[in-house]
């Protein structure tokens, strides 16, 4: 399985790196998953929301279509000039998400990453969740706001704010590799999942 985590200027550190930690831990334990950090553009380094500087592995355009694309958020409530709001208004980013989704990639929005997916027109009349501060915005974007820690609607999965990226990633490990491996990841990370996973029936 090929997974990618989308990076952009102003991305929230934990939104991006918590799922990366989970998926890389799953790989070390035995999951057949390869996870890359990919940038929306060609920047060699990016400054994240809290000031950390990160070097993506690749630009998204340089990689084959992933099976899973995780879209973090960042800076939405603060109306930061860089971050999720800027990406939600970036036609190149929105086109990237539409192409990925149309090509069969599963999208996973962490925190206000859901707002970027919504801006691409992909959450209309679909269950989703985001950071509590952005739920009204998600509703206005046409999504069916579903009060759960993780909302799995099949080809699009979303989760609440910041730390819920851990729960989303562990859920994805369970979904694709089984509950046993997910439990091993939890034990290794010394993290116990929280909240409800709402899943499409």
For 95, phi and psi rounded to 5 degrees? -65, -40
Q: Name the nearest CA neighbour of 160 among 198, 132, 186.
A: 132
Amino acid 42: pLDDT: 81
| Tally: H helices and E strands in the chain | 7, 12
Domain that holds residue 101: 2-199
- What is the domain count for the chain? 1
Amino acid 200: pLDDT: 82
DSSP label at 81?
S
Q: How many CA atoms lie within 13 A of 18 on its CB side?
A: 27
Here the CATH number for the domain that contains residue 65 is 3.40.50.880
How does DSSP assign 31-74, residue by residue?
---EEEEEESS--S-EE-TTS-EE--SEEGGGSPPPSEEEE---
Q: Are 22 and 183 in contact, with CB atoms under 8 Å apart?
A: no
Amino acid 123: pLDDT: 98
CA 49 to chain centre: 15
List the chain pLDDT tens, one digit each, 201 residues.
999 999 999 999 999 999 999 999 999 999 999 999 999 988 789 999 999 999 999 999 999 999 999 999 999 999 999 999 999 999 999 999 999 999 999 999 999 999 999 999 999 999 999 999 999 999 999 999 999 999 999 999 999 998 999 999 999 999 999 999 999 999 999 999 999 999 987
Q: Are 73 and 112 in contact, with CB atoms under 8 Å apart?
A: yes
**This prediction's pTM:** 0.97
Distance between CA 7 and CA 179 in Å, rounded? 28
């Amino acid at each position: 399985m090929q997974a990618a985590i989308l990076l952009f200027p102003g991305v929230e550190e934990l939104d991006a790196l918590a799922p990366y930690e989970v998926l890389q831990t799953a790989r070390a334990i035995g999951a057949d998953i390869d996870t890359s950090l990919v940038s929306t553009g060609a920047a060699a380094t990016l400054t994240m929301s809290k000031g950390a500087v990160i070097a993506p592995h690749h630009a998204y355009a340089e990689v084959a279509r992933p099976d899973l694309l995780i879209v973090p958020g960042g800076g939405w409530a603060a109306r930061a000039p860089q971050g999720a709001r800027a990406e939600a208004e970036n036609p190149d980013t929105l086109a990237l998400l539409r192409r990925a989704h149309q090509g069969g990639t599963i999208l996973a929005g962490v925190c206000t990453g859901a707002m970027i997916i919504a801006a691409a027109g992909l959450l209309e009349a679909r269950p989703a969740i985001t950071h509590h501060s952005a739920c009204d915005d998600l509703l206005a974007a046409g999504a069916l706001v579903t009060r759960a820690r993780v909302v799995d609607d099949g080809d699009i999965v979303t989760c609440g704010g910041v730390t819920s990226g851990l729960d989303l990633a562990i859920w994805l490990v369970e979904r694709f590799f089984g509950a046993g491996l997910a439990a091993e990841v939890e034990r290794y990370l010394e993290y116990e999942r929280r909240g409800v996973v709402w899943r499409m029936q």
